[in-house]
Amino acid sequence: ALIITSIALFLVRKIDGIKNDKTITYKDGFIIGLFQAIALLPGISRSGSTIVGGLFRNIKKEEAVKFSFMLYLPISVGSFILGINDFISTQNLNNYIISYILGFIFSIISTYFATKWFINIIKKKKLIYFSIYCLIVGIFVIIFM
């Protein structure tokens, strides 16, 4: 599935649409949401699929990336809310609390830097790098599974 994401990104890598955040329509949002739903398939990159959807709808690359990250917020908040019960019901929570806190902090830090790095790639019009990354990871999965 990552190889499919890689191919899709490769195919749209040179598209740089004309729509910005002020001209994105409800139809664009709906279609990009459908592309996000494709990411329910294991291995399909959520951000990759939504960026492909945005470029497919003729949205500028930077705007497609922003839209993709905005679509992530409800997913992130929803999974956090759904996970609270599991967290609270963990036996011996005191034994794991430091690990949970450290994991949370490091996930915020790594997400920040990964997002910054990814936005830089898009600004430099080097979407091909994300395509190559997905291809390499997809090949490794096939070889080592």
pLDDT, one tens digit per residue, over 42-73 is 888 888 899 899 999 999 888 888 888 888 88
pLDDT, tens digit (0-9, with 9 covering 90-100), for 97-138: 888 889 889 988 998 898 888 788 877 777 888 889 889 999
∠ CA(88), CA(94), CA(99), 5° rounding? 90
Distance CA 33, CA 117 (A): 24
Is the pTM higher than 0.95? no
